[in-house]
Structure 1
């Protein structure tokens, strides 16, 4: 019986070694697959990162003219507002020029009226002086008689 046991226990080891070897080979295969997958994914991520950097540069290059377009649109709006303000200022200038011309003509008319009134006053003063002289001379003739 002892020898049967020894034979049974010695028969177990080769099967155990085969199972462990198979398990080790499967584990090595799985690790190799994972390593290959990691390498492939790293290369793919590196490629995508490079492409993403290139696309970022392209987007930045495209954004510059878009910013310029927006700036140009804003500047065109400012120019339009300034033109509107200029037109309003020119209209106000024309209105004030017409007002100045009107006031200048009114002033000239008033100066003419003043000159006319001054002339009439001078005439009246001359008449008054003549009347006073005539009265004085009439009083002098009437007082000496």
Structure 2
């Protein structure tokens, strides 16, 4: 029976690897979609800022147009007033000239002379009013010219803003394309290093039945590192972890600095509950085991920036059949080379 069970354990199950490959592709797609959404968000924010500037410029143009219309109306009223003043002045001057002629024909007409003086004063007053109206019209003309210059400047600023908006959209689109290309390159590079790293681990650790590669993860049975219900590393596990640490240190030298990578250590348990003073649940047990592996690798010189510890409890099984063999497969430590 033991030999039969060992044969079943060594049967290659391609389904988890296929699922993990699909999961990796899905994660890459989700990441690319997130980058696209972030790009669209910044583009929307910039466009909203441009729209606000355009609305403010259009509001200023409308205000200036209204002021220009008012000034033009005032100018027309002033022109009408000035024309009326000139007509009145011309009539008074004609009346004055008529009175002078009559006075010249009638000697000693003092009353008429007084009338002429009054008309002269009124004519002078009309002249002053006409001069004041002319000055006002000149001021209005200057104001209208200034408003026209300001409107021209605003229209030019609006055109420049629209041109910059078009250029900004083109730059953002180009940035998105370059970002997608760079991301794809980084994913390809990391995939290549992952394959080389796992191949190196397989060579270092040997072809053991309790160590296998499933998809993009290197899977150790928990019994390889820990006694049942414990998070303390077994003495024989430290020798194998020393080999693992050496492989990681070589990997740190090979992967370029601009690739932000990390080796994630995942702890998993089976579905049987645990509840004691040290581990109230399988969450604590799986997390403690992952942390124990990470701490030992750090003690062997591996950079903490390249390590992640995660506990999944019993909630990520790879075999749900409930048999003793399935429970054993679900109690595991997984290594996954990924981006941070």
TM-score bucket (shorter structure) = 0.5 to 0.7
Q: In the TM superposition, what is the alpha-carbon distance from 1:58 to its structure 2 partner? A: 2.9
Q: Which moved more, 1:105-114 or 1:77-86?
A: 105-114
The root-mean-square deviation of aligned C-alpha atoms, in Å, is 2.5
CA distance in 2 between counterparts of 1:77 and 1:91 reads 21
CA distance in 2 between counterparts of 1:142 and 1:65 reads 113
CA distance in 1 between counterparts of 2:41 and 2:25 reads 24
Q: In the TM superposition, what is the alpha-carbon distance from 1:143 to its structure 2 partner? A: 6.1
Q: Number of matched residues?
A: 95
CA distance in 1 between counterparts of 2:26 and 2:82 reads 81
Cα deviation 1:96-136 (Å, max 9, x = unaligned) = 11111122222222222222211111110111111222334
CA distance in 2 between counterparts of 1:127 and 1:100 reads 40
Cα deviation 1:16-40 (Å, max 9, x = unaligned) = xxxxxxxxxxxxxxxxxxxxxxxxx
Q: In the TM superposition, what is the alpha-carbon distance from 1:140 to its structure 2 partner? A: 5.0
Cα deviation 1:59-93 (Å, max 9, x = unaligned) = 22211121111101100100000010000000001
1:35 corresponds to:
none
Unaligned runs of 5+ in 1: 1-46
Is 2:66 the counterpart of 1:80? no
Q: In the TM superposition, what is the alpha-carbon distance from 1:142 to its structure 2 partner? A: 5.4
Is 2:125 the counterpart of 1:129? no
CA distance in 2 between counterparts of 1:130 and 1:121 reads 14
CA distance in 2 between counterparts of 1:75 and 1:110 reads 51
Unaligned runs of 5+ in 2: 1-6, 106-340
TM-score between both structures, scaled by the size of structure 2 = 0.25
1:59 corresponds to:
17
CA distance in 2 between counterparts of 1:143 and 1:71 reads 105
Q: Which protein shows a greater Rg? A: 1
By percentage of residues, which structure has more helix?
A: 1
